[in-house]
Amino acid sequence: MRLQEKRLRQAVQGKTVLITGASSGIGRDVALLLAHYEANLILVGRNEERLRDVALKTGAQIYVMDLREKENRQRLCQEINQLDIFINNAGLSIHRSIYDSLERAHDFTRTMAINYFAPVELMLHFIPLLDVAQGQIVNVSTINTKFRPMAKWAAYQASKAAFDTWLRAVAPEVKHIVSTIYLPLVRTPMIASTKKYEYMPAMSSETAAKRIARLLYTKKKEDKPWWLLFLRFVRP
């Protein structure tokens, strides 16, 4: 996939860009890509070693923190008083039968904590900042939110769908741009523990990063695979 480099540079050069979940996978590749176009990056993740490695390559400011913790979100919000672009990318995926989850209520609280409550609370602080900057949020979502509910994906699908619904409800009210990318399977550490994905076709995380970057200059509201068109016939 080719990017329009001049347009991307205009969109991000000198802009303050916050990326959550930048220590790994898609978030890491978005950070590396936008650093090349001279964005001022603020990166968040829990794994200090991996986040420091990205910072070394990008010159980014980093926050090593668990975004499920309220005091961490508060500290981040207190320290960020100007923001042009927010890439909501940190996420947790769980693939587990409900019969293996009967003693695991925490699976549902921890997916909601990072996939729903954390971005909602960050957005409550960032909406005014993004409005002033006439900025943009890009939400890194999944095509799962477009599918009918699927067995073994209750925790992930419900939590990703919750934030997708929240953001779509908020979008008509806010003065900044709201974009969502609905990604198919992407080859990242997130899918490594699901054995059946080993041989399934998957997008590279570099391509996912480019598609996210493209939204920063096209300002489109959505990016999704063309073949999702056919799913309108199966969604309830």
Ligand X SMILES: NC(=O)c1ccc[n+]([C@@H]2O[C@H](COP(=O)([O-])OP(=O)(O)OC[C@H]3O[C@@H](n4cnc5c(N)ncnc54)[C@H](OP(=O)(O)O)[C@@H]3O)[C@@H](O)[C@H]2O)c1
- CA angle at 87 for the pair 86 and 93, rounded to the nearest 5°: 140
23 sits near ligand X (criterion: CB under 6 A): yes
Which span sits near ligand X by CB under 6 A: 3-11, 16-24, 96-104, 161-169?
16-24
**CA–CA distance, 172 with 162 (Å, rounded to integer):** 17
> Hey, which residues between 100 and 119 contact ligand X (CB under 6 A)?
114
Is 154 near ligand X (CB under 6 A)? Answer: no
- Per DSSP, the three-state class of 105 is helix
76 contacts ligand X (rule: CB under 6 A):
no
List 156, 182, 199, 217, catalytic entry: 156
Do 90 and 45 touch, CB atoms closer than 8 A? yes
Nearer to ligand X, 102 or 151 (CB): 151
Query: From start to end of 21-65, where are the E strands?
Result: 40-45, 61-64
Interface of this chain with ligand X, residues 176 to 235, rule: CB under 6 A: 183, 185-186, 188-191
Whether the CB-CB separation of 214 and 223 falls below 8 Å is answered with: yes
Rounded-to-integer distance, Cα 177 and Cα 138, Å: 8
Structure tokens at 90: 């940190």
Q: Which stretch binds ligand X (CB under 6 A): 6-14, 43-51, 127-135, 212-220?
A: 43-51
Q: How far is the CB of 22 from ligand X (least distance, A)?
A: 6
# residues near ligand X by CB under 6 A: 32
CB 185 within 8 A of CB 107: no
Shortest Å distance, C-beta 43 to ligand X: 9
Catalytic (active site) residue 156: yes
| Six token digits for residue 186 | 């992407």
The residue ranges that bind ligand X (CB under 6 A) are 20-27, 44-47, 50, 66-68, 89-93, 114, 140, 142, 160, 183, 185-186, 188-191
Just list the catalytic residues: 156
